[in-house]
Structure 1
């Protein structure tokens, strides 16, 4: 059985979502955040960088949520979370899947961090975020999700950052992304994962 090292309010929920979709149980080891909202020292005993999520599959430790999602999809012969390989949508999907952490996350965090600390979002950070949210809105197209009405790996990967943006009211001027987030929350795997481990984003004080 897969062991998942899961930090609270983290990208680990992505892994739980896919496992729920695949009908695969896991041994989940939970880690609470510190008062400073950091990962606890215990996670450094699992991964040298104190990262979460990390999975242990019969002694093989795998980090990075994108890698974990791809690994689990391949391990369990999943055919439902990527477009067919012989289609243009397949490579469009792979680009969006990698885009989330390679490009979008850094831009989003420049707005998320000050908002999380109760500070105004700098104008340049807001402008950068708006540009990326407009790009994602174009990628959604007719929606409701990136490739129709069923969550793909790219949707699962996108969900954590969108959850944080929604929590901090940073989607107010982006109704298409807000509708996308609402649609993500209706997905069975999301519902199962958050019922089990709690919400993706920390609740409002």
Structure 2
């Protein structure tokens, strides 16, 4: 049995989505970031930084979503979601898989400022503005890549889309989507996938965002 340690609407959704697309059943153990359960010694033994995802699979315990996604694709190549060494799209695939964390890091900084610093006086308007612009910049990179293709790789839907695509469901809380027509169409294609819909049904309720949009000049 595969066991996924999971927080709804977090990076662990990338792994849940990939497992669902692969048709791999898993036990989901859900956590709440606010109740201290991620600091429990039993969980820290699986994920030393106290963060999801952690995945128990093939007699191993893995953490870091990108590493887990690469491992699953390499050990289950029959599903075609990875790009193996020697394949023409390998370099571009790896670039997107790891660029996902560049974008996610910016989103995490915005989450910290807007969501987790409860006292507005603790927030920095300068940081909020810089990070919102950085996020828009990463989105523009995707916009350009998707201008003439349906998915990030010319060969079709891949784990790179699951890594990057997940970010786009948090990004619109901080950056308006109107200037990004290719990304809006891409998100619609993602939402139409049966695997995505099935994973979202398993995901659980998101508890991060209380508002539909957080402007960088909010107090």
1:189 aligns with 2:195: yes
Mark the CA change 1:194 to 1:113 in structure 2 (over 3 Å): closer, same or farther.
same
Mark the CA change 1:78 to 1:167 in structure 2 (over 3 Å): closer, same or farther.
farther
CA distance in 2, matches of 1:167, 1:88: 35
Which is greater in Rg? 2
* Equivalent residue for 1:175, pick from 178, 181, 189: 181
* Structure 1: tracts of 5 or more residues without a match: none
- The two structures have a TM-score, normalised by structure 1, of 0.82
1:57-76 aligned within 5 A: 57-76=57-76
Which moves more between the two structures, 130-139 or 167-176? 167-176
Number of residues paired by the alignment? 202
8 Å contact kept, 1:151–1:187: no
1:12 aligns with 2:12: yes
1:97 aligns with 2:97: yes
Mark the CA change 1:79 to 1:197 in structure 2 (over 3 Å): closer, same or farther.
closer
CA distance in 2, matches of 1:125, 1:113: 11
Structure 2 match to 1:125: 131
Structure 1, residues 118-148: CA drift from partner, whole Å, max 9, x if none?
8767332233222221111112232332135
Mark the CA change 1:83 to 1:60 in structure 2 (over 3 Å): closer, same or farther.
closer
Alpha-carbon offset, residue 58 of structure 1: 4.7
Mark the CA change 1:186 to 1:39 in structure 2 (over 3 Å): closer, same or farther.
farther
8 Å contact kept, 1:163–1:200: no
Helix, strand or coil: the match of 2:198? helix
Alpha-carbon offset, residue 84 of structure 1: 6.7
8 Å contact kept, 2:70–2:82: no
Structure 1, residues 131-182: CA drift from partner, whole Å, max 9, x if none?
2211111122323321359531111001232111124454343232232222
Alpha-carbon offset, residue 12 of structure 1: 1.2
